[in-house]
Amino acid sequence: MSKIVDFRQRIIDTVKAMYPQMDVEWYDGLFDEHDIADWTLKTPCARVAVMNAPGQHEVTGEMNACLRVVVVIIDENGHIARDGDAKAWEYVENVAIMANLNTFGDPNAAPATKVKFRRISQPVLRREGVSVGVVEWESDLTIGRNRVREREFFYRQDGSMITDVPRSRVIAQGYVHNAAGLDDHDELDVTPEVP
């Protein structure tokens, strides 16, 4: 599976864990009033898009994909007129707080930065009781082969990295003067203790 698709799924899972009642899926990054009309059938809902920004080379040989992540949150008025606005702001604020400096459990991701959030105001949607909020941030994700790890470490036949190495035992000999000034021959075990 693509690392970028896996990263997007981690974001979706994180939002679902925050709001189990919310319908959370991915989308391609563009939406219009027809998409919002379809999404309002499942409110409250969130749509997650991961779009690529220019990548950069790393010294490890990997590419640093600067990902632009967008989460669109849609809700409708409930029991009281215009209460969807307060709920949408709450969703937007909490998703922004969650995203800030989050790596979403991916070891190849840097903490999220440049978090922006806003409510989209549109008179037609407001008259229909629909509230739309957007949270956007940047997440750096390294993709590709890490040539440094391939060059600097040892691997087994199955491709797994060797992390345990044989330990050695060191014995040192020394001469110690006792209180009478005589030499005692002692052997000391100076093998380092490994936790």
**Bridge partner residues of 174 (DSSP):** 186
The band of 164, judged by pLDDT with boundaries at 50, 70 and 90, is confident
35 vs 152 pLDDT, higher one? 35
CA–CA–CA angle 21, 49, 54 (5° rounding): 155
Say what the pLDDT of residue 78 is.
Answer: 63
Residue 180 in tokens: 């009478």
For the segment 159-167, the average pLDDT, to the nearest whole number, is 80
The band of 183, judged by pLDDT with boundaries at 50, 70 and 90, is low
Helix (H) or strand (E) holding 173: strand 171-177
Count of C-beta atoms within a 10 Å radius of residue 90:
13
* Residue range 113-158, pLDDT digits in tens: 999 999 887 777 777 888 889 999 999 999 888 787 777 778 888 9
Q: How far is CA 167 from the centre of its chain?
A: 36
Q: Is residue 21 over pLDDT 90?
A: yes
Closest C-alpha to 121, from 134, 107, 109, 137: 134
Distance CA 129, CA 165 (A): 65
For each of the domains in the chain, give its residue range(s) and CATH number, in order of start.
3-148 (3.30.2000.10)
- Give the least confident one: 6-15, 18-27, 35-44, 160-169: 160-169
CA atoms within a 13 Å half-sphere pointing along the CA-CB vector of 108: 20
Question: What's the whole-model pTM score?
Answer: 0.74
* Residue range 108-118, pLDDT digits in tens: 999 999 999 99
Distances (CA, A) of 111 to 12, 50, 107, 115, 138: 17, 15, 10, 11, 9
The band of 43, judged by pLDDT with boundaries at 50, 70 and 90, is confident
* Residue range 56-87, pLDDT digits in tens: 888 788 889 999 999 999 988 765 666 667 88
Pairing of strands 23-26, 45-52: parallel
Q: Is residue 187 over pLDDT 60?
A: no
Count of C-beta atoms within a 10 Å radius of residue 169:
8
Distance CA 166, CA 44 (A): 57
| Long-range contacts of residues 14-20, Cβ cutoff 8 Å, at least 24 apart | 14/98, 14/102, 14/104, 15/46, 15/48, 15/71, 15/95, 15/98, 18/94, 18/95, 18/98, 19/44, 19/46, 19/91
Closest C-alpha to 118, from 80, 85, 77, 81: 85
